[in-house]
Amino acid sequence: MHQEADHQVPVLIVGGSLVGLSTSLFLGRLGVPHLLVERHSGTSIHPRGRGNNVRTMELFRVAGIEPDIKTAASLLADNHGILQTPTLVGDAGEWLFKHIDPGGGLARFSPTAWCLCSQNDLEPVLLAGARRLGGDLRYSHEMETFEQDDEGVTAVVRDRATDERYTVRAAYLVAADGPRSPVRGSLGIGQSGPGDLFANVSVTFRSKLLAEVVGDRRFICCYLTDPDADGALLPVDNKENWVFHAPWHPELGETLDEFTEDRLERHIRRAVGAPGLDVEITGKASWRAAERVADRYAAGRVFLAGDSAHEMSPTGAFGSNTGIQDAHNLAWKLAAVLQGWAGPALLDTYDTERRPVATATSARASARSVEHSHPGFAPAPGIGGAKRGGILNVVLGYHYPHGAVLGTDPDQEVVPDTLCLTGDPGTRAPHLWVRREGERISTLDLYERSLVLLSDARSTTDWHTAAQRIAAHDGVRLDSYRIGAELTHAPRSETDTPPDWARAHGTTPDGAVLVRPDGFVAWRAAGAVPDAEATLRQAVRTVLRTA
């Protein structure tokens, strides 16, 4: 059947929202041809999913689209923090937090920062970036059926504009088709977790007078707590376009039809505390918050990513970020296998690594919703009881105890209590500013298309030559950089002293650190070894599943 397919492509992506588009972008950066089909006619028109955390922005930085995202996000560039108040009239209420990065301490860990960019603004940037890289992205196209065999997947796709059908033969299929994923359903993959948490009706509206009521309070989100009209208010442009999330209780028999424009207008006025507020409803959409994780992230040659793999409470914006990071983890592994420098078993580590992260993160998201008293959320006993505390250890400090890594601590929690980025295998590699060929970059900018070995130019072990020989003779994508040779210190000022790269990476000047294309440490050597080439080759083969 596949020899008669209308299209043959290495990867078929089903779903063109944030995660599907990110998968396309990352595969395009790695030179993997692919086809994306999305049943809707275009990118999202609703301003949602706005919080892009620092780890996601690191990925978009390396992918070359960070400047475009910042341009798209410029209207909300000065918005920070979450306000909780019974009314916006006067100065009542309290800031749950006022700044995501008070004091600028994040700069020690990352070359970038959080970015508030709504989904309707971010998706066009991802789409443009993916198409510039040659991605074949088709809107108003819907996959109807698929079947797989030992060599690939054959799908039937319908063009919704013409009602014509065509077949696609792909080596692999990535299902980024949302929380009700037809692909997951057809594979018979179940889900685990508490399930539905709460439901909201999301309303877009115009109000020219609301900006005066808000004043200079530039929040990301404001939880309004009037018991008769609670909800969450989010600015779209800080001027006249806004979003309001009103609690919806379908479990009590409440229907969407009850949310008439008149009711919503009265609700918003009461919640804000301004009876004469001008409110013009421009859109309405319902959504449900849930905590669920798929029992498997893969079945044969089909992989789940994003909401098809996990659902989590919106508090903290963990869901879309976790999905984008799923896509990044999977993309380099697909590229390595398709391009022949890794074994197919490497793809098994996608589930091994990403599913525990989703389980831990979704529990933190529910706990954060409890902590913030999210409107409409009345948790059942036992839900939302996970550890709370800092957010950086969740978004930046998560750990892969098992997978394409060597020398990890298998007993370490996936999400640690504190942020510790010191080069431990299974963690995101440390960020240091360096200079390469005259250009100031972060060490994180080195990690995308290949494995990377870092060592010291003064090392008594010639790790650099060993890496070059392995790359040449084994057909592995492996780049090598020596601190003090190919990479030099890039001071921020005349008094800035060079960092101890080895200490920052948990090794010694005679040691070495092997970093994966996704920026996670795969392996490290603490010091000198008798045979660098044999030692490194064994590590590379084990990580890439070619041993």
Residue 451 and residue 498 in one domain? yes
Domain that holds residue 453: 433-544
In a domain, 415, yes or no: no
**Is there a single domain that holds both residue 76 and residue 145?**
yes
Domain contains 536: yes
Is 284 inside a domain boundary?
A: no
Same domain, residue pair 22 and 108 = yes
Domain end residue (candidates: 395, 417, 443): 395
Query: Could you read off the pLDDT of 498-531 as tens digits, one per residue?
Result: 789 999 999 999 999 999 999 999 999 999 999 9
Going by C-beta distance under 8 Å and a sequence separation of 6 or more, which residues neighbour residue 38? Answer: 15, 16, 17, 20, 137, 138, 139, 140, 141
The residue behind tokens 């001071």 is 491
- Summarize pLDDT for 214-254 with one digit per residue, the tens: 999 999 999 999 999 999 999 999 999 999 999 999 989 99
Residue 441 sits in the same domain as residue 355: no
- Does the predicted TM-score (pTM) go above 0.75? yes
CATH of the domain at 447: 3.40.30.120
Q: How many structural domains comprise the chain? A: 2
Tokens 């494995």 belong to residue: 451
* Shared-domain flag, residues 450 and 376: no
Residue 337 lies in a domain: yes
| 381 lies in the same domain as 441 | no
pLDDT in tens, 265-307: 999 999 999 999 999 999 998 888 899 999 999 999 999 999 9
Give the pLDDT confidence of 471-500 residue by residue, as tens digits: 999 999 999 999 999 999 887 776 677 789
Name the amino acid, one letter, at 520: F
Whether residue 390 is found in the same domain as residue 472: no
Q: Does any domain span residue 410?
A: no
Same domain for 175 and 297, yes or no, is yes
* Whether residue 362 is found in the same domain as residue 510: no
**Are both 21 and 127 inside the same structural domain?**
yes
What is the spatial distance between Cα 392 and Cα 398, in angstroms, rounded to a whole number? Answer: 9
Asked if residue 220 belongs to a domain, the reply is no
pLDDT on residue 384: 53
Residue 249 in domain: no
Give the residues across from 247 on adjacent strands.
200
- Residue whose token pair is 């685990």: 192
Is 413 contained in some domain?
Answer: no
